[in-house]
Homo-oligomer: A and B are copies of this chain.
Amino acid sequence: MRVLVAEDDRGLREVLVQGLEDAGYLVDAVDRGDDAVDQLKFYDYDVAILDWRMPGLQGVEVASWARTHDKPTAILMLTARDAPPDRIQGLDAGADDYLVKPFDFGELLARVRALQRRPRGVDSPVLTRGRLSLDPARRQVTVDGRLLNLTPAEFHITELLMRRFPSVVDRKAIAEHAWRDETEPLGSNVIDVKMSRLRAKLANAGVRIVTVRGSGFRLEEAH
């Protein structure tokens, strides 16, 4: 398992490197944010431990760089700041976890283990497909920056189709994710009606809802 440590405080950096190596990890360390980006360019790290504030680039900036460049690396942010807004910013920028300094080293190891355990893909906080993008935090859907006006149900369905892309999403899953009582839509044709409306609204979004007869629906990038 390969781990990247980006921390400008020399003492802490050495503690991290030593401790992680003792725990059996292969560790590379840098002391600047831009150096961290360079490392991420060339190596596939399982986990990157980033300090919140560093020379060069901030931790958040490194995180969102990694996300926008589809890096498979899980990101653990270290921060001295304990104010929630900062943490939220970190998480929404694409960090997978964070830890407030000072921290217990055993806990850091546990969090690293938790991060490497989940097969973490490369989902940026904002889902994008074709010209369409969906921001879960803001609950907004845009096409080329132009805001789409979706109803709650339509939003849920769109989010589900985007998250499951390119898989087929069956009616049961749609019912579970977009209705409080999931038995309700299954007896009627509500789902079909929603799909019809959604298709109309997504008409020019570089994306298309394909029906898979007998199975469900699937999102497809329009050619």
Contact = CB atoms under 8 A, between A and B. Distances in A.
Nearest to A120: B118
A187 interface: no
Given A44-B173, A139-B212, A215-B152, A87 B110 contact: yes
A156 interface: yes
A43 B178 CA distance: 13
Interface stretch (A6-14, A52-60, A91-99, A196-204): A91-99
B167 A214 contact: no
A118 B116 contact: no
Given A84-B104, A138-B168, A166-B137, A117 B125 contact: yes
A180 B179 CA distance: 27
B152 A213 contact: yes
A2 interface: yes
A114 B96 contact: yes
Contacts of A104: 84
- Which of A136, A155, A156, A215 has the most B CB atoms < 10 Å from its CB? A136
Contacts of A212: 139-140
Interface string A194-223: 000000000000000000111100100000
A177 B218 contact: no
A145 interface: no
A2 B119 contact: no
A91 B118 contact: no
B137 A177 contact: no
A119 to B, nearest CB: 4
A137 B117 CA distance: 12
